[in-house]
Structure 1
Amino acid sequence: MAPPEIPGFYYDPYKRRYFKVENSKTAPTNAAWSSDNVKKRKFKDREAVTKSRRLELDAKRIAPPPIMRDLRASRFLKRETGEDIRDFAAVSFARDIVEMGHVPSGFSSTSSNLRHLALSTNCSVAVTSLDGDNLKTTHFVTNPNTQRVSWDPTSRTRSRSQSSVSCIKYSKKLHGVLIVCDDLSSLPYVMYDPGLWFREAHFERSVSLAGIQLGPDQPPVQRHSRDMEYFAGYFICPSTENNDTVALIGTDRGLVSLTEPMGLRYITPISGRNSSSYTTRFRDIFAIDYQVNHHSTFFMGGRPGQFHKGDLREAPMSWDSMTLPNSIAHIKSVSDYQVLVAGLNNMLSIFDLRYCRYSPASDDNPYHKALPLLNIPGYKNMAHFTLGFDFDKDTGVVAAAHDDGKVALYSVRDGRRLPSPVIDAIHSGYGPIHCIQMQALPGDNMPRLFMGEDNQIKVYSVDASK
């Protein structure tokens, strides 16, 4: 607080005391309390205040050009002038996204959200499941003028009963939908060319457990062994077109590969009731994703927080492994070295594999706590493995469902939550949302967000017409 001004006295801030203003003729040379110096100081202070006010008023009079008022155009301009706008695509997508139609799934019940969703490559056919025991197929079309999505009235909705469906994914390699259930003794199924399947209502044969091939380091396993009475499938990850396998399947006993022609093969050692500590390290695989730009290297993880970097060309005992603080529900490869991991206890983090402490899976104590490169705050998932989750590499946007029925968008570049008026307003009254998929339609510059809300497939995207 400035000291009060006393008429006829000068306050020295360095000596912290008042001096009586003295005539310049009698005051010492260059004395701060001389009358001339006091007058000069007051004049300079008034000039400084006037200049500051003038600058403040001039700044208000300068109006930004109209192009700077538009977020997308202003970011383009800043990027062209040399500024690093890394989150331009993500911020623009989250800010401008709107609802672009909905497609009925064919289920009449409105007491819960869709459990599973798979879209064909051209996003014209959707395979859905509401209760995990029934599958329905739906065709939809896009209006060329408004780009809105709606149900195709010329098609029919087909259905099939199938118990305990745990995961469905579309395979670009087979041009069909892969379906895996809790009991692998009768699955996975493959629907070749979903559009054709809907018209013919023809389901391909299933793979029986008797057709499972054993790896070179696996002992013979009998079909009716007590350890093989139940073999649960959790997750299926379609392989790339350059891969020899069709898909990788995460189970409660380890990792299994689906090969052509429709055969199963153990990748990791089988874990049973009396398995060693080595085999139990590969149990309960809930998430799998191939490394970016690699068709043989992949990441997998599950419970309790076991993370593995696998290579189909090497034996599992030589794979790198580490442990995370919580169980893993989702894994997405962001780049050659960065991995996005979501799990229980509100865990959403990005790990840089170049700085993580690994150890071989064959080590007696292989798991070391890994420190994330970036923690993303705000994610809410305490105890669910099946919440909706997806990541778009082009925009760097993460779409994640929360356990309270809400959905949020995040940026993988800085970990912040992206404000989105439309997405932030979503609040399902039927519990958490399980189906979220980001995929671009043919001709789109931005991805579309497909979400299973209630018994419908809702579509969100940036409206290019505005």
Structure 2
Amino acid sequence: MAATGNLEIPGYYYDSAKRKYFRIEDSRTAPVGAAWSAQNVKRRALEEKEQAERQERMRREALTVKRARALQAPLLGGLLMREAGVTGRGGDAVPIGETMGKVFAGGLRAKGGVNLWPPAGSAAMSSMWVGGGDERRGLGVAYAVFNERLLASSYIPRDTKECINFSYAAQTYPNISFQPRHRWYWAESVVTSVKFHEPSLRLLVARHYKSGGPVTIEQLIPPSDATPAWMVDSDPSGIDVQMAELRGDSANTIYAMEPAPASSPLTCIAGTDRGLIQLRDGELTCLTPPGPRRGGYPAGRRLHQPPPRRSRHHHADPDILPWQRDVLSVAFFHHHHNNNINPASSSSSSLLSSSTGAGHPDLLLAGTRSGHVCLLDLRTPPAAWTAARNTFPHASSAAHVRPVGAWGVLVAGPRSSMALYDVRWLGRGRAGAGSASSAGGGRCWPTLPVVEFPAYRNAAHLQIGLDLLPPETGYGAGLVAAAHDDRTVGLYSLGDGARVDGGDVDGLEASAVVRCLMWQTLPGEKHPGLFVGDGQWIRKYSFWA
């Protein structure tokens, strides 16, 4: 028999070790144990035939074997696979954390909702904040912006099963009114964001004017004993309202706002049509120098209106730095390890949305309309920031940025693009690169995603909901709640980017594209719940146990 790749000559045997042909010899005359003896050649032929038949039988049987339904359940299946030593991606054992994260996501159940809108008319919710509220009574609170000019608030009462239940609340708290409260703004006002600053116990409301003019951030300061379990009215009794305006032509539109952590001297930061602004000690000022106003950007331009056409690499105007235009998203970066990293810049021109946690008070993330993600270090002067060293491109406008762990940044936007990046790759130049970047003195290696989310669906929306349940909360590698442009909401694992079973969340079909999502743990609850802004309702989903 000839080996594969060699000519098979009748009556001859090819020895692959000696790399030569031998005439097949009768077993009685061949040397003892000779491979070319007739008996050994026949035996090997039979063994090869049996091996081929066995392989074919195994292939056919593999097509008929079905995965046990028990293994598809996150809890039972995950634990069984771990006990059996079944490996996951990369050959590693299935991590118990991933199993628990999927169990949590699959166990989310609908727990009712809060209707914040007056009985008549229709509403579109554009911003939402849900908080702990009254810890002593166990009441949560919710604030939401409707139709860009109504600020509504309501308590979130729950029964013993953690379901939102106003009938139960009326009997348990007879002295509390559970009717939603409303605060209307002028017809020319556009209210874009409502947030709560935990260190100062103040509600922050960002707004601008349709016809241009100063952008404004209001601070609603309640009585000392009431915060944040208090409601807003058109004429709130006992609530002090402090207004801070950014005078001049520095900015005309606020796209997003984010409260600062307790260790920061700032109250909040916000993204505008001409860069970042800051609220410090009641005064609203520019955090970054605003760039020149570009043609085609009228005052008060809405978020959904497209920007003027630019070149493929967004280098149409080399004199305009990234952080000097529309900033779509901002966040304080959760970085606690290497203080020698120089995160100091952004890249083209747009700051539109914001998000923050208990992050580093001097490190900021900013996502721009042009698709650049910027890491800004407030310990260095803005003149030292360079786009080449401290920015990296995303596949679309960076409508959301979220810090993940010590080095990760989650970025999402239109074109169904959501990815997790590692900022340790920032600022590593490429030797021998061609032309230098006009904004930063040399090109850099592209920062490639660490994890991508192929099931994410958002073709064209900038105002669309997204929130992150970080890994440090203990639910696996972390969960991302992201709204889709088909009016649904999906849950994704930060570990591999796959969409996971979201329980009742997967069955949600909202009245319009969901623009508000938030993870929050209310008083008395052991697990965080997902709050979804659907029309005039804030719906709650939490773990069934």
Scaled by the length of structure 1, the TM-score of the pair is 0.77
1:387–1:434 Cα contact (<8 Å) kept: yes
TM alignment of 1:88-99, pairs within 5 A: 88-99=99-110
Residue 372 of structure 1 corresponds to: 448
- Quote the Cα distance in structure 2 between the aligned partners of 1:233 and 1:109: 29
- Quote the Cα distance in structure 2 between the aligned partners of 1:111 and 1:298: 37
- Residue of structure 2 aligned with 1:207, choices 223, 230, 243: 243
1:182–1:234 Cα contact (<8 Å) kept: no
TM alignment of 1:24-39, pairs within 5 A: 38=42
- My pick for the range that moved more, 32-41 or 453-462, is 32-41
Report SS of the residue matched to 1:142.
coil
Residue 434 of structure 1 corresponds to: 515
Shift of 1:134: 0.8
Q: Deviations over 1:8-43 (max 9, x none)?
A: xxx887675777x99976999768785798589769
- Residue of structure 2 aligned with 1:254, choices 267, 275, 282: 275
Q: Are 2:284 and 1:269 equivalent residues in the alignment?
A: no
- Quote the Cα distance in structure 2 between the aligned partners of 1:443 and 1:75: 34
Report SS of the residue matched to 2:505.
helix
1:100–1:148 Cα contact (<8 Å) kept: yes
- Quote the Cα distance in structure 1 between the aligned partners of 2:41 and 2:490: 63
Report SS of the residue matched to 1:120.
strand
1:248–1:257 Cα contact (<8 Å) kept: yes
1:281–1:306 Cα contact (<8 Å) kept: no
- Residue of structure 1 aligned with 2:147, choices 118, 121, 131: 131
- Quote the Cα distance in structure 1 between the aligned partners of 2:79 and 2:101: 14
The change in CA–CA distance for 1:107 and 1:317 in structure 2 (over 3 A counts) is farther
One-letter identity of the residue aligned with 1:390: D
- Residue of structure 2 aligned with 1:347, choices 401, 404, 417: 417
- Quote the Cα distance in structure 2 between the aligned partners of 1:204 and 1:187: 16
- Quote the Cα distance in structure 2 between the aligned partners of 1:141 and 1:34: 89
Report SS of the residue matched to 2:523.
coil
Q: Are 2:367 and 1:301 equivalent residues in the alignment?
A: yes
One-letter identity of the residue aligned with 1:342: A
Residue 3 of structure 1 corresponds to: none
Residue 195 of structure 1 corresponds to: 229
Scaled by the length of structure 2, the TM-score of the pair is 0.67
2:131–2:520 Cα contact (<8 Å) kept: no
- Quote the Cα distance in structure 2 between the aligned partners of 1:65 and 1:456: 36
Shift of 1:319: 3.0
Report SS of the residue matched to 1:286.
strand
Residue 158 of structure 2 corresponds to: 142
- My pick for the range that moved more, 101-110 or 243-252, is 101-110
TM alignment of 1:327-346, pairs within 5 A: 327-346=397-416
The change in CA–CA distance for 1:68 and 1:23 in structure 2 (over 3 A counts) is farther
1:138–1:156 Cα contact (<8 Å) kept: yes
- Quote the Cα distance in structure 2 between the aligned partners of 1:344 and 1:189: 30
- My pick for the range that moved more, 419-428 or 159-168, is 419-428
Unaligned runs of 5+ in 1: 1-10, 213-222
1:389–1:401 Cα contact (<8 Å) kept: yes
Report SS of the residue matched to 2:216.
coil
Kindly, what percent of the aligned residue pairs are identical? Answer: 23
Q: Deviations over 1:259-305 (max 9, x none)?
A: 22x21122111234379924674211121111115222111122212
Shift of 1:251: 1.0
1:309–1:319 Cα contact (<8 Å) kept: no
Unaligned runs of 5+ in 2: 12-23, 134-138, 171-176, 222-226, 296-316, 335-358, 430-436
Q: Are 2:411 and 1:411 equivalent residues in the alignment?
A: no
One-letter identity of the residue aligned with 2:229: G
- The number of residues matched between the two structures is 427
- My pick for the range that moved more, 269-278 or 448-457, is 269-278
TM alignment of 1:57-456, pairs within 5 A: 70-71=76-77, 73-74=79-80, 83=93, 85=95, 86-108=97-119, 113-122=124-133, 124-144=140-160, 146-151=161-166, 152-153=169-170, 154-162=177-185, 163-183=189-209, 185=214, 187-192=216-221, 193-198=227-232, 201-202=236-237, 203-209=239-245, 223=247, 227=249, 231-260=252-281, 262-273=282-293, 277-278=319-320, 281-292=323-334, 293-321=359-387, 322-325=391-394, 326-357=396-427, 364-366=438-440, 370-374=446-450, 375-393=452-470, 394=473, 395=475, 396-428=478-510, 430-456=511-537
The change in CA–CA distance for 1:68 and 1:435 in structure 2 (over 3 A counts) is closer
1:345–1:382 Cα contact (<8 Å) kept: yes
What is the alpha-carbon root mean square deviation over aligned residues? 4.1
2:158–2:164 Cα contact (<8 Å) kept: yes
One-letter identity of the residue aligned with 2:447: L
Q: Deviations over 1:74-121 (max 9, x none)?
A: 478689x99451523432222222212222223446856522211123
One-letter identity of the residue aligned with 1:373: P
- Quote the Cα distance in structure 1 between the aligned partners of 2:69 and 2:360: 47
One-letter identity of the residue aligned with 1:164: V
The change in CA–CA distance for 1:65 and 1:378 in structure 2 (over 3 A counts) is closer
Shift of 1:353: 1.0
- Quote the Cα distance in structure 2 between the aligned partners of 1:124 and 1:251: 31
Shift of 1:459: 1.0
Q: Deviations over 1:357-399 (max 9, x none)?
A: 379xxx8423957422333222222332210010111331111
- Quote the Cα distance in structure 2 between the aligned partners of 1:290 and 1:208: 22
Shift of 1:422: 2.8
Residue 5 of structure 1 corresponds to: none
Residue 337 of structure 2 corresponds to: none
Shift of 1:140: 1.2
Residue 217 of structure 1 corresponds to: none
Shift of 1:131: 1.1
Residue 7 of structure 1 corresponds to: none
2:114–2:156 Cα contact (<8 Å) kept: yes
Shift of 1:205: 2.5
